[in-house]
Every structure is written in C-alpha cells, then in structure tokens.
Chains A and B, each alone.
Chain A
Amino acid sequence: MAYEQDVQRLEQIIAALDRRDLDLDAALRLFEEGVERLRAASAALGAAEASVRQLVEQADGSLGLADFNR
C-alpha cells in the first residue's frame, strides 16, 4: 500500500531533519518531499467504506471477485 511507503518515508525524512549535520538546502528539499508525502498519506486515509467481496471460481477454473451479499 502506498500509504505504508509514505509513512515509512516520512519517518526517514523526520529522522534526517533531526540530524544537525544536514545543510539547509537539503533540509528544505526533505521538508518539501515530506509535505508532499504527508498530503498523499492523508488523502489515502480519506473516507471510504469497507467493501466486502467474494472470491468466486468460474467454470473454467479462473478466479474472480463478485459482490458479497448476505
């Protein structure tokens, strides 16, 4: 899930920003990337309704998802 990668990258960025040896230019670039990742992660958490599907096997043996109604 992209969310997980965004979160992991955010953790890296924040850890890097906490390092005192970082120059300002690099800090700014990291910050900008962090803001972008944060925006993406927040969007990923946007409202969504958990969908429930059902794994169904077709006559030819292939597998697909169908709505699960019960």
Chain B
Amino acid sequence: MTPARGRSSSRLARDAAPDAPDLFAVPPLNTDGAAAAASFAVPVKTTGESAQQAIAVSTLTETAKAVLEGAFTPLWVRGEVSDFKAHRNGHWYFCLRDATAQVRCVVWSRNQRRIPAPPDDGMQVSACGQLSVYAARGDMQFVVTAMEAAGDGLWRKALELSLKRLQADGLTAPERKRRIPAFPRRIAVITSPDGAALRDVMAVVRRRWPLVELVVVPAKVQGEGATEELIAALGRVNRWGGADTVIIGRGGGAREDLWAFNDERVARALAACTAPTISAVGHEVDTTLCDLVADLRAPTPSAAAEAAVPVLADERDHLAVFARNLRQGLTGRAADMRARLELSHRDLRRRGEQLVESRRARLEAVAGRLHALSPLATLARGFAVARGADGEPLTSAHQFSPGLAFALVLRDGRVPSQATGAPELSAPDAATPEPGE
C-alpha cells in the first residue's frame, strides 16, 4: 500500500539520491500527495477535514510512513554517530547528526552482517538507508542497511574485534605455530587458478625442488563469494588430507582486495587446517588475519614457495658432504683402532719388561739372602765343617768314633783327617736331639 508514490515525489527522490545527501533541506511534500494518501488509506468519510472527520493517530503515522517511504528511495547520508545502542532485541539504534540536525537510525539485526562492525559514538559515517516512520513513537526513523566510516574506520574496528577473538582463542599464539615440513611430497596451493600467485609458486618450485607435487585448490581470492570459496577450499584440503604443506594466498593487490584474507571465518578455517600452513597475501604493508594465524607468513607467493621447499642443488651438496663424512668417519675409527692397538702393544711390552725386572730384583734379593745363609759364608768367616766319608756334614760329637776318617772343610780347601780318640761330650748337649737325625 503505497498511496503516496506520486510522480513528483518519486522523481524528487531519484534526483536527490546519487549526489544530494543534503536532502533534508527539501521542502515538505506537497499537501496534495498527503491528502491523496489519506483519502486512499483511510476508510471513507474520515478525511480529517473536520473534527467529525478526524482520522486515527495510527492512520496519520502510517500515512506519513507511506508518504516518506514513497518519497525517498534508499540513499546515503553522512553524519556523526551518537547514542549508539546495541539493543537486547538484536537491533542497533543510534543517531546521525551534524551541527544543526539529527535523525534517529536503526539497523535491523538481519542487516548487520553487511556492516563490518558496529560504529562507535563520534565516528563519522555514511549510512545507506530508507527514511521511514516509527509509528509507535511517531518518530522519523532512518532504516540503515549499509554503512561506511571515514578512513576505513569500521573495517579497522571489525578487524580489531576479530583479532581479539582469534587471540582469545589462542589461534595467533607463537607456541601454536607448527614447523613447515622440510621435504614435502605434496603442497596444496589455495588461490585463484588464473592468478599470478599460482604462476609464481609453480616457477619457484620447478626451479628449486621439482620433486614435489603441487595440488591447486582453486578459490576466488577477492570480490563477492571469495570468503566462502576460500573457506570451502580449506575444508576440501582437510577432507582430502593429502597435503604436507598448505599455501594460501594471492598476488599483490589493493588493500580492499585483501579483505577476504581478513575475514575471521577464513582465518579460523585456516587455523583449523590439519597440515602446516603458509600465508602468502602479497601485501607488504598490511598484515592480514590469515597471516597471523598461519604457521608461517610469507610476504609473497614466491617467498611462500621458497619457504615450502628446499633447493635441490643444495641437497645434492649435502649428500656429497655426507658421503665424505661417512668415509672419514670410518677411516677415522680404523685409525683410532690402530693407534689403540699400538698403544696396547707398547703397554704390554712395557708391562712384560717390568715383570721381568721385578722378578730379577726378587731373585737377587733371594740370592743375597741365600748367600748370607750359606755355610760358605760361615767358612769365609774362619769356621770349619767336618764331613763324613759320604760327604754329609758331621755336626755331633756322637757321630765320631776313634779312628773315624773324615774331611775338614775350610774356607780355601779340605783336609783329610782322622779322629784320634773317643768323643768328649759336653754335658748340656747330651740331652738335646740331634739335628739331621
């Protein structure tokens, strides 16, 4: 029911919308329109022309609403936000004002997802909406469906809020970062199949490490639907499960082209990736949310590829070094063995010599003692020994009988002798047993 959609008012709105945000300066709508609306909307006979013809309040506001909505197509209005309230019912309420005027605004909850973040009081914004009437209060109300803030303010705020949430969930923590596999077999590359990013990655991989399989996972990286496609691609990579490393990125672009990589849902999908991830959003100035949750941030797709694969020539050099070290290791051990053997040999010889030496010393000591105890030594001191015919020493007087022939052994020779009489025993000796018996 849009009774007031008169030709003149709709032309007014159309003319005003593109470049005339100061639309509020427009004079009130002509009374013909209002009257026509009233006559159309209200039951017959209540035209409001007299007390008897008075119309209901709701009729008035509904008519006003219809007239306003008919007069203004959606348009952009700029002003400063004040009295912002996110109501429990899910809707946002605030005022847009300038130095001399203000208008009440509402953002229905269903329209909020198109606005990056709720605006802050004092923020300069442009809001796109439909002028209407809130009948219950009789207020004029601007129903906002889109909003932008000066200097990307809303985007920045949205980014900060997303970052806070990601941080609160620990998704940007350094200790969460995984090591990028040194020798991947398969690398999934989530990017536009036509973009420079993919070409760069392919070129680097072919040059450095042509042993890896690149698996392209196509996704739009900017514009409408990019967010959803990136999330879907990340989901597919996880479901497939064949990637050792995941590169997600795009070539350099304007700041607004990177927005999909600043989407919190994309960042969360990236954080949920089962394989280690490298972000390669080619923008030197801005760090995207994807950069912050990826296991590694590369400044460009080429740099991402370089971080993802080793250099074949370097690896061949490594192997050559290994071969040399192996040989040297073995010859080193063999040389050690030989040195050790020589050392033991020398030890053995020395110990042998020591043994011989100590035995000789002991022998000499024994010989010395033996010498000291030898009867020869006694003889040398001037004593004599008598020996019988059998050569045994005669050590007791009892062994002698008159006429017994014996030899007297002295230091320098022996003298044949004969006993000339019976032995004369010395008394104390008689009782002692004879040694040698």
Binding site for B on A (CB under 8 A): 1, 3-4, 7, 10-11, 13-14, 17-18, 20, 22, 24, 27-28, 30-31, 34-35, 38, 41-42, 44-45, 47-55, 57, 63, 65, 68, 70
Which residue from B182, B211, B239, B315 sits with its C-beta under 8 Å from A50? Answer: B211
Known: A34-B329, A38-B319, A50-B211. 19 other contacts (CB 8 A): A1-B183, A1-B184, A7-B318, A14-B322, A14-B326, A17-B325, A17-B326, A17-B332, A18-B329, A20-B336, A41-B319, A44-B211, A50-B202, A50-B205, A54-B217, A54-B218, A55-B240, A65-B215, A68-B214
Given A4-B182, A7-B318, A52-B202, A17 contacting B329 (CB threshold 8 A) = yes
The digit string for B194-213, where 1 denotes a CB below 8 A from any CB of A, is 10000000100110011111
CA gap between A13 and B333 in the complex, in Å: 13
Contacting pair A38 B236 (CB below 8 A):
no
CB-nearest residue of chain B to A4: B183
- The answer to the question of B285 belonging to the interface, with a C-beta cut-off of 8 Å to chain A, is no
Which residue from B183, B215, B326 sits with its C-beta under 8 Å from A3? Answer: B183
Cβ contacts under 8 Å, A27 to chain B: 329-330, 333-334
A–B pairs, 27, beta carbons within 8 Å: A1-B181, A4-B181, A7-B322, A11-B322, A13-B326, A17-B326, A17-B332, A20-B333, A20-B336, A28-B330, A31-B326, A34-B326, A45-B211, A45-B312, A45-B315, A45-B319, A49-B206, A50-B206, A52-B213, A54-B215, A54-B218, A55-B215, A55-B216, A55-B237, A57-B236, A65-B242, A68-B216
Given A4-B182, A18-B329, A24-B333, A52 contacting B216 (CB threshold 8 A) = yes
Size bracket of the B interface: 35 or more
Which residue from B209, B239, B330 sits with its C-beta under 8 Å from A31? Answer: B330
Contacting pair A18 B211 (CB below 8 A):
no
CA gap between A25 and B194 in the complex, in Å: 59
Cβ contacts under 8 Å, B214 to chain A: 50-53, 68
Cβ contacts under 8 Å, A28 to chain B: 330
Shortest beta-carbon distance from B329 to chain A in Å: 3
CA gap between A48 and B236 in the complex, in Å: 27
Total number of A-B contacts with CB less than 8 angstroms? Answer: 111
- The answer to the question of B393 belonging to the interface, with a C-beta cut-off of 8 Å to chain A, is no
**Which 8 A-B residue pairings sit nearest by Cβ, starting from the closest?**
A17-B329, A27-B333, A50-B210, A31-B330, A4-B183, A63-B240, A1-B183, A34-B326
Contacting pair A24 B337 (CB below 8 A):
yes
Shortest beta-carbon distance from A42 to chain B in Å: 6
- The answer to the question of B86 belonging to the interface, with a C-beta cut-off of 8 Å to chain A, is no
CA gap between A47 and B193 in the complex, in Å: 27
CA gap between A11 and B182 in the complex, in Å: 15
- The answer to the question of B365 belonging to the interface, with a C-beta cut-off of 8 Å to chain A, is no
CA gap between A53 and B211 in the complex, in Å: 13
Cβ contacts under 8 Å, B323 to chain A: 38
CB-nearest residue of chain B to A20: B336
Shortest beta-carbon distance from A68 to chain B in Å: 5
Which residue from B215, B315, B334 sits with its C-beta under 8 Å from A24? Answer: B334
Interface members, chain B 208-263 (any A CB < 8 Å): 209-218, 236-237, 239-240, 242, 244
CB-nearest residue of chain B to A54: B216
Cβ contacts under 8 Å, B398 to chain A: none
Cβ contacts under 8 Å, A53 to chain B: 213-216
CB-nearest residue of chain A to B329: A17
CA gap between A57 and B334 in the complex, in Å: 59
Contacting pair B312 A18 (CB below 8 A):
no
- The answer to the question of B188 belonging to the interface, with a C-beta cut-off of 8 Å to chain A, is yes
Which residue from A4, A20, A50 sits with its C-beta under 8 Å from B209? Answer: A50
Which residue from A13, A45, A48, A55 sits with its C-beta under 8 Å from B188? Answer: A55
